Amino acid sequence: MRSDNIKKGVEKSPHRALLKATGLTDSEIAKPLIAVVNSWNEIVPGHVHLKTIGEKVKEGVRSAGGTPIEFNTIGICDGIAMGHIGMKMSLPSRDLIADSVELMVQAHQFDGMVLISSCDKIVPGHLIAAARLNIPSIVVTGGPMMPGFFKGNPVDVISVFEAVGAYQNNLISLDELKELEDSACPGPGSCAGCFTANTMACLTETLGLSLPGCGTAHAIQAKKLRIAYESGVRAVNLVRENLKPSDILTREAFENAIRVDMAIGGSTNTTIHLPAIAEELNIKIEIDEFDYFGRTTPHLVNLRPGGPYTMWDMEKAGGVPALLKQLKSLLNLNTIGVTGKKLKDIIDDFKIIDENIIRPLRNPYHREGGIAVLKGSLAPQGAVVKQTAVSSESMVHIGPAKVFNSEEEATEAICGGEIKPKDVVVIRYEGVIGGPGMREMLSPTANLMGRGMDKEVSLITDGRFSGGTRGLCIGHVSPEAALGGPISLVENGDLIKIDIPNRRLDLLVEEGELMNRKSKWVKPKIQVKGYLKKYAEQYYEKLLKN
């Protein structure tokens, strides 16, 4: 066993003495040591219940003949961090989480891992660590939050973000906003729609790193506790079988995950998370692959924010297993997961409970999948849009630019009523380096939606969007402004053309004029310190190497 490096032989007597100081006995030390990597904390709704899940995991590990040893990672709530400097910390936290897991596991030579995570950057952070360490690992995602209800309709935190704009535009009263605030998030779990956290949970199950049914099993369900226990049992057997992430996370598995992402209309943030996980295994996923699978995978589950259904509806309809059965003819069926079985051998046991929610290929909500990649003179290296959350009449849009050099400037203009129909709101210097940290722009987009401008106004940024963003919102514009990309040259009044069907994003300005602007452009000085400074510098060095 790998843990023999810290426990076997006379020379490891000091190591065993230290392990015994924690209360472990000789018999416990002799067993496989399983790291229970938990992101439990008391501020993130998606994490507050993970201590209980961790206890069930440890019960499972012990019952299978292993010794569980738990430690924690940090976890940031994107919703609480949204709209202020805190959002600069979100994406960088993903890499810090992965690094911290690596350090703990390598230092203490665990034999295997159970990773317990929820929310936007924590799940991918854990997956990056699993791929990098490549020791037997299984993931238990914490589960979605139940939807709240307001005036008889299901709601979630995105409803509240959008209601702020509605209140500022005198469309609802302050009392109604307060009532919605009190009812939108009824308890623990990751926010109730198909936002980044729940998208990544579904993709983790698809990749094969969590047990079937885990992705949509809700935080409050006893089913989640049973899955946690079974995952603990399975972790010990993974060690005995020496089944590693590299055996599971193949290129074919990532292709399956991208197809599921398209079929559920998942978060655009997967375009940065999946490649980062794959990179740890020397698998390269290009941005254009998302567009290819988007064009060839229909949209089968119409979840919020683009559709009416919540994750609870998907769970009741059969969850990820049911969706995999509907997608069977498009999938790589020889992939294996933590069960040790091939997908083709277990998919026939999956049940489709409600085809009105998880539709068959012959009857999709949209012919194409959730994500489209746009290129053109404004985004030579690409930009990303969740096309299934865009109204059909907004798929092509031409309008004048309203340019802002930060999210705060744009939000102030939106709240001040400065944005008019047809405007194209451009928010720049919010990329990985320019931010730094590549903030999500949920506050300005939700404010526009709440004002009823989702079909009239578009928003373009070199930052990111929350998985809860809907409407004509295009993010990840590359190269970013801080690197001198074309988005840095846009001026107020410039016409911008968005053409999603033809995958184009163009700045309608003569090339000579752009060259003149480029000659006058001065790279901004970014005043930043601490972890963000390290993060921006590391990312820039990586760009230079590539």
- Tell me the catalytic residues: 466
Region of 492 (left: φ > 0; alpha: ψ -120 to 50; beta: rest) is beta
**DSSP type of residue 366:** B
From the centroid of its chain, how far is CA 344? 27
**DSSP type of residue 485:** -
- 3-state DSSP assignment of residue 275: helix
As a whole number of angstroms, the distance between CA 117 and CA 107 comes to 21
C-alpha dihedral sign at 177, 181, 185, 186: negative
As a whole number of angstroms, the distance between CA 365 and CA 357 comes to 10
The token duo for 36 is: 């229970």
The token duo for 340 is: 């040790």
- Count of other CB atoms within 10 angstroms of residue 484: 14
39 has which bridge partners? none
Residue position matching structure tokens 């940290």: 437
b/e per residue 141-166 (b: at least 16 CB within 10 A): bbbbbbbbebeeebbbbbbbbbbbbb
Instruction: Phi first, then psi: give them for residue 72, nearest 5 degrees.
Output: -110, 155
- Count of other CB atoms within 10 angstroms of residue 365: 16
The token duo for 288 is: 């254009």
Q: Are strands 382-386 and 371-374 parallel, antiparallel or unpaired?
A: antiparallel
22 to each of 16, 18, 68, 112, how far by Cα in Å?
Answer: 10, 7, 12, 19
